Amino acid sequence: MIGGLFIYNHKGEVLISRVYRDDIGRNAVDAFRVNVIHARQQVRSPVTNIARTSFFHVKRSNIWLAAVTKQNVNAAMVFEFLYKMCDVMTAYFGKISEENIKNNFVLIYELLDEILDFGYPQNSETGALKTFITQQGIKSQTKEEQSQITSQVTGQIGWRREGIKYRRNELFLDVLESVNLLMSPQGQVLSAHVSGRVVMKSYLSGMPECKFGMNDKIVIDKQGKGTADETSKSGKQSIAIDDCTFHQCVRLSKFDSERSISFIPPDGEYELMRYRTTKDIILPFRVIPLVREVGRTKLEVKVVIKSNFKPSLLAQKIEVRIPTPLNTSGVQVICMKGKAKYKASENAIVWKIKRMAGMKESQISAEIELLPTNDKKKWARPPISMNFEVPFAPSGLKVRYLKVFEPKLNYSDHDVIKWVRYIGRSGIYETRC
Amino acid sequence: MPAVSKGDGMRGLAVFISDIRNCKSKEAEIKRINKELANIRSKFKGDKALDGYSKKKYVCKLLFIFLLGHDIDFGHMEAVNLLSSNRYTEKQIGYLFISVLVNSNSELIRLINNGIKNDLASRNPTFMNLALHCIANVGSREMAEAFTADIPKILVAGDTMDSVKQSAALCLLRLNRTSPDLVPMGEWTSRVVHLLNDQHLGVVTAATSLITTLAQKNPEEFKTSVSLAVSRLSRIVTSASTDLQDYTYYFVPAPWLSVKLLRLLQCYPPPEEGAVRGRLTECLETILNKAQEPPKSKKVQHSNAKNAVLFEAISLIIHHDSEPNLLVRACNQLGQFLQHRETNLRYLALESMCTLASSEFSHEAVKTHIETVINALKTERDVSVRQRAVDLLYAMCDRSNAQQIVAEMLNYLETADYSIREEIYAVDYTWYVDTILNLIRIAGDYVSEEVWYRVIQIVINRDDVQGYSAKTVFEALQAPACHENLVKVGGYILGEFGNLIAGDPRSSPLIQFNLLHSKFHLCSVPTRALLLSTYIKFVNLFPEIKATIQDVLRSDSQLRNADVELQQRAVEYLRLSCIASTDILSTPSTSTDLLGLGLAPVLNSVAPASAGGSLLVDVFSDNSPAVASLAHTAEENFSSPRIGSADVVSDDPAAAVHDADELVNKFVCKNNGVLFENQLMQIGLKSEFRQNLGEYNSRTKQVDPAVDGGAQVQQILNIECVSDFMEAPILNIQFRYGGALQNMSVKLPVTLNKFFQPTEMTSQDFFQRWKQLSIEQQHSLTVSCKSFCFIIDSPQQEVQKIFKAKHPMDTEVTKAKIIGFGVALLDMVDPNPSNFTGAGVIHTKNIQVGCLLRLEPNTQAQVRGVFIFQFYSRVLEICVCVCHIYIYIY
């Protein structure tokens, strides 16, 4: 029951305003601008309540998307919708920027009319939308086409239309994970979790039935009942998934009863599932900080990073960020590998390494000169954070199979070309110093 | 490179600021600032010394960053270093930084103070000015401590430049405002006054501000400034505008200085010297004349400046309040402004007129504008102006126009947006009650508690309106939706006087009760509590509906109410109504007198006298007059007697108060005697009063010889007068005689006059105060008008009663009576020897009130003669009480 949807630029000017219900007046537009975008204190909560009106916002680069309601809505639903909205817009015109929004405002209004009806979210599947909302202007459609669209949109499988044909049946599977960590200076893990996504790109003909299998602990254990030796073999390999969500195409009843993931995939790119794990996480890097204060005007910092994965793999885009005190007046850095620089604008030393193999270590040492201040406040010592990308899944997730069945057309599972890729990225990966 | 060649431009600063301005987002701005801060830090840290220009530039940047809202925790040292620079721009930036960012860092403060001292000591006027400005801008206590000694020297030194003097005066003014105790008074004060004669008008303006502030603190020291100010003022006002340097502002000569001088003069009474006075009057007249002249310019600045001077002149005239001619002229001038186009002018005119109305000379003149004011009230758009208009209407209200004004205001109230609190000026009680009830009905939310307290106070004290008001309230309550205040008034009045209208079948007790109870559930807790008390009063007044009320009290919503106060009341009242007879109920219920018996129940000792075998004398005092506070707490002044113990049931104190008024009245002028006597017992009395405390020594003597003749029991009662009162406290006595329970209630002869303390006065003193009080009375009319309602009729501070003497007049007897009354008899004070005068102070716990009394026997009128009794005091109620008592003794 979203009452209205507004899009603002970074200055708070309204780019798009679509009101779905009468209880949202024009002043709601200003209320959000004044109380959130132009607020003196930065508003960090994504939900703001102003005069009994709730504003849910997400930010994409410099653009604010805000959904407004006066009712008690499911906040998760609203955010899900906003994210979906972003996906749809990206699918239509690329990056969400002020320029793009201004250039496509007719399209955006058209989309908003379609995916929200009286504030209730409707089919927001890009594939389906693209069949009848196009950027090529008004295309005169034949009766058959129209009826086809209608039956498809209102039918059981709204996310895939019939009659898709590819010469090469291809399928891409990406396991994208971000690993989050907070570690004490002594190397004790204070909190760690992995949130992952399985993103699929499918170019398959007809209406194929797919089955996806991974090393989910429950499934493995169940199978293990029959063959005890298999359990012992793959016991270590299985992972415990804390929670997961699926794309609407997945048959949930089957998942509930058999824990098997079977679905008819949408055409193109989509996110098959999302999951989170907290146990047995492989931490790709270990950061060992050493900070020593030499008098009031000097600080010595030494940071060692160790890579903790197979030596054959290569981590990429490694960036270590070492915060400096607010009264830093000069920094000298020495590092063995990569490049390190003091970035005054961010109050941090940024150390970048392009590539690093597993089971290696590297270190940086820095001398920070301080300006004596009359401030009694002590430096709070923020944690050292890290960014990286590794070619495996830190959660330990493995794709066991992905089977495709298409009984009507003449291709079998073997004819489909399948690609699987694992990418592990850093989320908030911090070590206290 | 020499700094001079770079000029004052500070390109780096300009670039930085434009960078900040161009930032797209907050994050970008923070990044830019962090970068700049790191740069400045590294520059300040750098080993090579910075030149003055860079230092200035970086300090400026820091200042800018600070003003953007970021914390700055360094750079103070560099700023302090700038102070010692010889270049003006560098010094200026240094001072600017310090004024904005100074903190009480001990070492830095010392350095800063040192820098300022050096600059003050330098003979360079611009540096001195910078230093003075910095002191004034910071204005901290430390600054005051360090420099209050130096600044006056600079101010009065002969060779100081004008601009420096100006700054010094203003700086001293600022220090005086922040830490007045530190600014020394000394020989420089007299020399400061002479700055009013300075050639430079800027100096004079600054000095006037300073002198005005100082003169408010100790007027004596600056008394000489009056004549100087007057002469300066007359030079400005009367001279041609050419010789005023640059101080003519849109054809108005030195308006700011004029206003300040006029303000200064308002610190003092009108000058006594004839010449000065004449000159001042002439000035004021000139100002008033100039207001009549056609404007020299159409610019708004011209009229603003002119009017500023004019209004200040008018407030001076009002302040002096001595020249009827000027007052009337001022009034007329304001009258013109009342119709001016400018809203601000109308507002100011109304405001000034308000004060004018209180002056006796101009009151009549103000009254001529009544139509305009009423019109303003009706048509004005601006609510604040309307409020002023209402204020003025109060101020100009008196006997002659009260009816008209109140009618207008009520009229207005119906249509107005209720933002103006209603205040009323009443003439007769019935009308008054009507008005207030009307008021509560229309604008209940804006009627303060005091207003309805006052209604009840009046109703209680006026027998003639009780029935009427009960009826009115009853009718008002019949409206389906009533304001809570109305319910309160209704509950109170019906509880007290519901019996007066109970005869009418349309307002039978049950109907009254049901009516009140229908409102019960809609009310807030205090009102419900009040209504519960009303119900118990009903139980007393109308025994026939007792059962109904008990049912209500017994219901769960009362007995188990979540609110502790309501619950307690319900429980207690229920028990009270079940256990007690009508007699016991009447005692607490009727003692709910509003006009306050200021007696705290101090007597509670039980003295069983084992005089004779069967006699038990019990001074039972739980039911003696309940605490009755003044009308302010009148909402509920009925302290419920705690009847928890069962023994009360067995020995009910009789309620029949012995109507021994004559007996009691004997005690008005006497302190000892027999209070009560019957065949069973005799109560003797001996009393002493000291200020607000009284002590009774009552002797209860058994007079029946058959039992135990002549046994005496002594009981000491301590009485404290809390506030004024009219009803005497009641002493209940119960004892067993011959197996039968005996009860009696006797009024204790405590009257207000007992708390008189005689005061001796000379004739001159006496009449001076007499007059003062009569003037104050006029004045207080306007004051109390503002706060709320007022009654014209008799109760003012003066009470005058003419009454017939019951006894033949005898000078000696009258004298004795006056002395016995408690006041000091002032012999030979009144020019007419046959008149009696007296003075005294009434001591109560809360206040002490001086009273003056004059008795004028008129032997011609009747055989026994008539007394004209005049009585003055500051508190109205006291007058009424005392007067009441006094008439008793004749």
pLDDT tops 90 at residue A303: yes
Q: Is B471 exposed, middle or buried (0-12, 13-18, 19+ CB in 10 A)?
A: middle
Residues of chain B neighbouring A42 (CB-CB closer than 8 A): 26
The string of DSSP codes covering B360-409 is: TTTHHHHHTTHHHHHHHHHH---HHHHHHHHHHHHHH--TTTHHHHHHHH
What does the block give as tokens for B475?
Answer: 């009718």
B872, B775 contact by CB (below 8 A): no
Touching check for B39 and chain A: CB below 8 Å?
yes
| Inter-chain CB proximity B45 and A329 less than 8 Å | yes
Residues in CB range of B786: below 8 A, 6 or more apart: B391, B394, B423
Out of A344, A373, A374, name the one closest to residue B35 (CB).
A344
Q: Report, as ranges of residue numbers, the positions in chain B whose pLDDT lies below 50.
A: 1-6, 415-428, 587-660, 701-707, 777-796, 861-866
Please provide residue A89's backbone torsions phi and psi, each rounded to the nearest 5 degrees: -65, -40
Residue B58 annotated as binding?
A: yes
Q: CA B604, CA B589: separation in Å to the nearest integer?
A: 20
| Inter-chain CB proximity B74 and A42 less than 8 Å | no
| Inter-chain CB proximity A369 and B45 less than 8 Å | yes
Q: CA B640, CA B623: separation in Å to the nearest integer?
A: 9
The string of DSSP codes covering A172-241 is: EEEEEEEEEEEE-TTS-EEEEEEEEEEEEEEE--SS-EEEEEE-BHHHHHHHHHH-HHHHHHHGGG-B--
Q: Is A22 exposed, middle or buried (0-12, 13-18, 19+ CB in 10 A)?
A: exposed
Residues in CB range of B114: below 8 A, 6 or more apart: none
What does the block give as tokens for B36?
Answer: 């700049």
Residues of chain B neighbouring A326 (CB-CB closer than 8 A): 37, 73
- DSSP E strand boundaries for A284-347: 285-294, 298-307, 314-323, 328-335, 339-343
| Inter-chain CB proximity B41 and A371 less than 8 Å | yes
Query: How confident is the model at residue A143, as a pLDDT?
Result: 73
A5, A66 contact by CB (below 8 A): yes
Touching check for B31 and chain A: CB below 8 Å?
yes
Which contacts (CB < 8 Å, 24+ apart) does range B669-675 have?
Answer: B669/B816, B669/B817, B669/B819, B669/B820, B669/B821, B669/B889, B670/B820, B675/B746, B675/B748, B675/B749
Average pLDDT, chain A: 87
Bridge partners of B858, per DSSP, are B866
Residue whose structure tokens are 């809360």? B846
Residues of chain B neighbouring A345 (CB-CB closer than 8 A): 31-32, 34-35, 38
Residues of chain A neighbouring B41 (CB-CB closer than 8 A): 327-329, 371
Residue B153 annotated as binding?
A: no
Residue of A nearest to B24 (CA): A10
Q: CA B140, CA B108: separation in Å to the nearest integer?
A: 14
| Inter-chain CB proximity B45 and A346 less than 8 Å | no
Bridge partners of A292, per DSSP, are A300
Residues in chain A: 433
> How do the domains of chain B map onto residue ranges?
9-101, 186-281, 428-586, 753-774+795-889
Touching check for B73 and chain A: CB below 8 Å?
yes
Q: CA B258, CA B310: separation in Å to the nearest integer?
A: 10
Residue of B nearest to A327 (CA): B41
Residue B57 annotated as binding?
A: yes
What does the block give as tokens for B502?
Answer: 């109970």
| Inter-chain CB proximity A345 and B35 less than 8 Å | yes
Residues of chain A neighbouring B39 (CB-CB closer than 8 A): 344
Task: Give the model confidence (pLDDT) of A72-104 as tens digits.
Answer: 999 999 999 999 999 899 988 889 999 999 998
Residues of chain A neighbouring B74 (CB-CB closer than 8 A): 327, 371-374
Min CA distance, A375 vs chain B (Å)? 6
Q: From the candidates B27, B36, B70, B73, which should be mutated to test the interface with A, based on the most A CB atoms within 10 A?
A: B73
Q: CA B582, CA A346: separation in Å to the nearest integer?
A: 87
Residue whose structure tokens are 């008539």? B866
Q: CA A14, CA A35: separation in Å to the nearest integer?
A: 15
| Inter-chain CB proximity A328 and B105 less than 8 Å | no
Tell me how many degrees the CA angle B122-B126-B129 measures, rounded to the nearest 5: 85
In this structure, the strands spanning B866-873 and B848-858 are antiparallel
| Inter-chain CB proximity A373 and B38 less than 8 Å | no
Residues in chain B: 890
Burial A173-198 (b: 16+ CB within 10 A, else e): bbbbbbbbbebebeeeeeebbbbbbb
A179, A426 contact by CB (below 8 A): yes
Task: Give the model confidence (pLDDT) of A165-200 as tens digits.
Answer: 898 999 999 999 999 999 999 889 999 999 999 999
pLDDT tops 90 at residue A6: yes
Task: Give the model confidence (pLDDT) of A328-337 as tens digits.
Answer: 888 999 998 9
The separation between the first and the last C-alpha atoms of chain B, rounded to the nearest angstrom, is 107
Query: How confident is the model at residue B810, as a pLDDT?
Result: 65
Out of A344, A369, A375, name the one closest to residue B73 (CB).
A375
Interface residues of A toward B, Cβ cutoff 8 Å, are 10, 42, 62, 326-330, 344-347, 369, 371-375
Touching check for B66 and chain A: CB below 8 Å?
no
The string of DSSP codes covering B210-258 is: HHHHHHHH-GGGGTTHHHHHHHHHHHHHHS-GGGSTT-EETTEESHHHH
| Inter-chain CB proximity B73 and A374 less than 8 Å | yes
Of residues B792 and A125, more confidently modeled: A125
Q: From the candidates A43, A63, A326, which should be mutated to test the interface with B, based on the most B CB atoms within 10 A?
A: A326
Residues of chain B neighbouring A373 (CB-CB closer than 8 A): 73-74
Touching check for B25 and chain A: CB below 8 Å?
yes
| Inter-chain CB proximity B73 and A345 less than 8 Å | no
Distances, alpha carbon B889 to alpha carbons B184, B432, B826, in Å? 61, 32, 20
What does the block give as tokens for A122?
Answer: 């409707």
Query: How confident is the model at residue B705, as a pLDDT?
Result: 45
Residues of chain B neighbouring A374 (CB-CB closer than 8 A): 73-74, 76, 103, 105, 108
Out of A42, A327, A347, name the one closest to residue B74 (CB).
A327
The separation between the first and the last C-alpha atoms of chain A, rounded to the nearest angstrom, is 47
In this structure, the strands spanning B740-747 and B657-658 are parallel
Residue of B nearest to A343 (CA): B35
Q: pTM to 2 decimals?
A: 0.56
In this structure, the strands spanning A361-370 and A298-307 are antiparallel
* ipTM for the predicted complex: 0.73
Nearest to A355 by CA among A310, A306, A390, A317: A317
Query: How confident is the model at residue B608, as a pLDDT?
Result: 31
User: Distance from CA of residue A236 to its chain's centroid?
Assistant: 28
What does the block give as tokens for A170?
Answer: 């291809």
Lowest mean pLDDT among A160-169, A284-293, B399-408: B399-408
pLDDT tops 80 at residue A320: yes
CATH number of B753-774+795-889: 3.30.310.10
Task: Give the model confidence (pLDDT) of B47-94 as tens digits.
Answer: 677 888 888 899 999 999 999 888 888 888 888 888 888 888 889 999
Task: Give the model confidence (pLDDT) of A387-419 as tens digits.
Answer: 999 999 999 999 999 999 888 887 888 889 999
Q: CA B603, CA A264: separation in Å to the nearest integer?
A: 96
Q: CA B202, CA B210: separation in Å to the nearest integer?
A: 13
